[in-house]
């Protein structure tokens, strides 16, 4: 390396150090070491499904579901800027909004902070507002999803939210007010990472977390605090309810223009242009214009939905097309082998096409096609939507027309077999249950349970949900001869012991569970008692 190159290298190194030092000093003037602690604009699109729009300076993270988990468990939450009309901004112009719909999640945001004094005692805090409810009153949390919030510091500067090095604040569960969460740790080097974690334990309908006014300070230094807009509730400790597995850091995303407010878009106006999507080289897709749009009223507000861009393929040079032959346009269709039936859903506040597709086990494209919606997928409160679903409609019996009689035969018909008697039992969904496991346990089918309980998405059942289970049709047995003897190796009765379940007894003695229920007049197969005497034959 010649002398000129060495001088250039030293100049660049000094400039980088000066910029780093200047950034640290600028942040340290008010005592706050974070970038964008107020979660203000701009918001950066970090990708993901659903969308992840995160305040600049922060990155999203979430833990994936464990193997064979129900579809509602540990889903990726949706990240958005807080809407001003929700009054969920503590100070400034914006706040980070994290939400899920009928799904649990374990995730939040994090920030890597460089240039901190090694060995310094640091305090990280943030304010969070939690609303979780099975209903739509935004001011009251009812039948909540067991939502807890924590803050943490990784003193080594790592970005793994499952790392044992992270020092976490106590697990606290608080609702309907801005509350401060704080933790203190000692930096082991010049870089630390701060984490904000929200855990939704049960799939309530609405699970909303708002974040604002975060700070990272050296012990003894406190940044100026904005006045809160709501009464703060002192934290109440509850035992931890979640486990964590390692996830790789989120990939770097590209910046998009900031979004300030959600405003109604009339159906006739042109929708906001979205980033271009990948174009297929040989096919042209044309957006289907809506045949009928419902104009918004004074009380109906349009529901924001996922954005789609219709893109045409342009071929250079003239194309020979007969003058009397119209240009063919490829229209997307719904595959009848996948979607065997439809239901009608009335749009509610908070609904989007994407959320309805998840709720009913459908797809966004199928809903757009079935309702002739534009690619922008604008829907309105009160609008009826046709939702293609995967399960067929329940079969119906077709009566034989009057006057039609079976042809006479020379030989008499044998007597008809005994009519099967339908048997159903009540079952409460337990942790880890899926519809296929329940069907296998009771020797029935997923479709039979779904049709009996009006389930349109067989991948979506809830913990504690009460299901009617159709058992195999039981044919009344003929009267046993007087000399009938019990089956070999099967006792006549069994006394219930600790740890027994009806399912285990059924397997132990090779007696169908439906037969046990009938013989003993059991109403709830989940409830048998120690010392209870059960008939096995």
The correct answer on CATH 3.10.350.10 for the domain covering 424-477+487-535 is yes
Rounded Cα–Cα distance for residues 515 and 490 (Å): 14
CA distance linking residue 175 with residue 209, whole number of Å: 10
Contact between residue 182 and residue 123 where contact means Cβ atoms under 8 Å apart: yes
Give the three-class secondary structure for 522: coil
Q: Does position 306 have pLDDT exceeding 70, yes or no?
A: no
Residue 479 or 82, more confident: 82
Mean pLDDT of 201-217: 93
What are the φ/ψ torsions at residue 191 (nearest 5 degrees)? -130, 135
Complete edge-to-edge strand list for the sheet that includes strand 78-81: 78-81, 96-101, 206-218, 121-133, 178-186
CATH of domain 21-240: 2.60.120.260
pLDDT per position as a tens digit, 310-368: 333 333 444 443 444 444 445 567 777 778 778 888 888 878 888 888 878 888 888 99
Share of the chain above pLDDT 70, in %: 63
What pLDDT does residue 1 have?
A: 58
pLDDT for 418 equals 53
Greatest mean pLDDT range, 48-52, 361-365, 480-484? 48-52
Task: Name the nearest CA neighbour of 306 among 413, 402, 379, 233.
Answer: 379
The per-residue pLDDT for 239 is 45
Which residues have CB under 8 Å from 256's CB, separation 6+? 42, 43, 44, 45, 53, 275
Asked whether the predicted pLDDT for residue 142 surpasses 80, the reply is yes
Instruction: Report pLDDT for 292.
Output: 41
- What is the domain partition of the chain in residue ranges? 21-240, 302-313+334-389, 424-477+487-535
User: Which one has a higher pLDDT value, 407 or 384?
Assistant: 384
Residue 327 confidence (pLDDT): 43
**Threshold 0.85, pTM exceeds:** no
Cα–Cα dist 70/462, whole Å? 9
- Nearest to 196, CA basis, from 178, 177, 183: 183
C-alpha distances out from residue 114 to 182, 331, 361, 437, Å: 20, 53, 44, 50
pLDDT band at 223 (very low <50, low <70, confident <90, very high): low
pLDDT at 227 over 60: no
DSSP 456: S
Supply the pLDDT for residue 141: 94
pLDDT of residue 133: 92
- pLDDT for 14 equals 60
pLDDT score recorded for residue 124: 96
Name the one residue in this structure whose structure tokens are 């009608």. 344
The reply to whether 302-313+334-389 shares the fold of 21-240 is no
CATH architecture group of domain 302-313+334-389: Roll (3.10)
Nearest CA among 435, 108, 59 for reference residue 244? 108
Name the residue among 145, 143, 150 with its Cα closest to residue 166. 150
Residue 89 predicted with pLDDT over 90: yes
């Amino acid at each position: 390396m010649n002398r000129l190159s060495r001088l250039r290298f030293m100049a660049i190194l000094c400039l980088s150090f000066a910029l780093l030092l200047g950034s640290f000093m600028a942040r340290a003037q008010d005592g706050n070491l974070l970038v964008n602690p107020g979660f203000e604009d701009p918001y950066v699109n970090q990708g993901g499904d659903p969308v992840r729009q995160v305040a600049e300076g922060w990155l999203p993270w979430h833990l994936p579901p464990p193997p064979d988990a129900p579809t509602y468990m540990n889903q990726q939450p949706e990240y958005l800027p807080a809407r001003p009309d929700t009054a969920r901004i503590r100070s400034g112009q914006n706040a980070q909004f994290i939400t899920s719909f009928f799904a649990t999640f374990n995730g939040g945001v994090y920030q890597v902070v460089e240039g901190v004094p090694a060995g310094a005692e640091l305090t990280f805090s943030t304010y969070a507002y939690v609303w979780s409810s099975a209903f739509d009153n935004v001011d009251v949390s009812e039948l909540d999803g067991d939502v807890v919030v924590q803050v943490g510091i990784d003193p080594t500067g790592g970005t793994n939210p499952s790392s044992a090095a992270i020092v976490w604040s106590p697990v606290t569960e608080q609702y309907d007010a801005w509350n401060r969460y704080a933790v203190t740790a000692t930096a082991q080097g010049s870089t630390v990472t701060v984490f904000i974690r929200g855990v939704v334990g049960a799939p309530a309908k609405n699970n909303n977390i708002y974040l604002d006014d975060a700070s990272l300070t050296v012990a003894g230094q406190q940044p100026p605090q904005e006045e809160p807009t709501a009464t703060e509730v002192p934290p109440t400790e509850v035992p931890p309810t979640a486990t964590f597995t390692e996830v790789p850091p989120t990939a770097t995303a590209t910046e998009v223009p900031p979004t300030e407010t959600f405003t109604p878009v009339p159906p006739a106006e042109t929708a906001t242009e979205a980033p271009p999507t990948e174009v297929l080289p040989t096919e042209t897709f044309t957006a289907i214009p809506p045949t009928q749009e419902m104009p918004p009223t004074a009380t109906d507000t349009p529901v924001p939905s996922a954005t789609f861009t219709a893109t045409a393929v342009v071929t250079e040079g003239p194309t020979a097309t007969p003058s009397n032959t119209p240009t063919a346009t490829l229209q997307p269709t719904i595959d009848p082998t996948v979607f065997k039936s439809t239901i009608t859903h009335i749009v509610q506040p908070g609904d989007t096409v994407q959320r309805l597709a998840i709720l009913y086990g459908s797809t966004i494209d199928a809903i757009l096609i079935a309702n002739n919606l534009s690619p922008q997928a604008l829907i309105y409160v009160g609008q009826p939507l046709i939702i293609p679903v995967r399960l067929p409609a329940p079969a119906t019996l077709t009566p034989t027309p009057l006057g039609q009689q079976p042809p006479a035969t020379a030989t008499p018909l044998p007597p008809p077999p005994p009519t099967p008697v339908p048997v159903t039992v009540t079952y409460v969904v337990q942790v880890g249950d899926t519809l296929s496991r329940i069907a296998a346990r009771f020797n029935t089918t997923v479709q039979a349970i779904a049709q009996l309980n009006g389930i349109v998405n067989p991948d979506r059942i809830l913990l504690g949900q009460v299901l009617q289970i159709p058992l195999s049709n039981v044919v009344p047995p003929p009267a046993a001869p007087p000399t009938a003897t019990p089956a070999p190796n099967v006792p006549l009765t069994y006394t219930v012991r600790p740890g027994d379940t009806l399912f285990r007894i059924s397997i132990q003695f090779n007696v169908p569970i439906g037969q046990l229920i009938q013989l003993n007049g059991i109403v709830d197969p989940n409830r048998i008692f120690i010392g209870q005497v059960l008939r096995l034959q």
